[in-house]
Structure 1
Amino acid sequence: DLLLLLQHTPVYTAGRREKDPSQLEAEGARLRAVGADYVHAMRGGQTTYHGPGQLVGYSLMDLGAAQLSTRCYVDRLERFLSALTSSLSVPVYPLEHTGVFTSPTTKVGSIGIHIRRRISLHGFSLNVEQQTKAWFDHIVACGLA
């Protein structure tokens, strides 16, 4: 098992749930024009941003050896991000959507994974500085309008 924690240069990633794959090339050109890279990722979810002011974690884990279902694994990541956010004196607002919210409309933590042969790939992100907000203004993050 391995956990990589890092901060990316500005990049938008489109997950497997992106609604209109035929638009990915045009969307990529539009987002590159604002100064970020654009990558189609084999993780779950839709389009999101990663960059300065954000902690990104890539959790590579053998779910079979840990005897975890995919749902249990995602729940544990979400609880970890919620606890981390709360430990920074930021109140967490519980919602039905996957991720960490500080209000009904403010998402600060996202989870997007891919499981292959019971090994988890990709992971999570947590916005830790306000500078990320301007980058999110260019997209409908995670499909949440």
Structure 2
Amino acid sequence: MAVNPYEQYRRMQVETASQGKLILMLYEGAIKNLHLAQQCMESKNINGAHSSLMKAQRIIQELNITLNMDAGEIAQNLRDLYVYMLERLAKANMQKDRAIVSEVLELLAELKSGWDEIILKKSSRNAPVQVK
């Protein structure tokens, strides 16, 4: 059985990524699949739209179930937002509604932007000091 080098590389990225990087990868995957769903809807590819929407929903479910609820109010707010997005995507899938997908895309992009800032700050604190 031949090993797909791309899949092997991707698996290695996931296995060696920090928790923050994994979160960003999940957001990127959800956003990518929602863009694909919109493209499929536009071209009347119903099966492709359904498949992409389901992948995005699974990613959001993963983000939801891995929340650390000990983090307090912020975790609860994220949970509420993830549940809302899942409900909206279920409706978008039933109706093949690009506007609903756009709404969820905006929410995900805003959340990802926040995570980008958090992870960037964290990684810059942990970066080695360079002596000149």
Is TM > 0.5 for Structure 1 vs Structure 2?
no
TM-score (norm 2): 0.29
Larger radius of gyration: 2
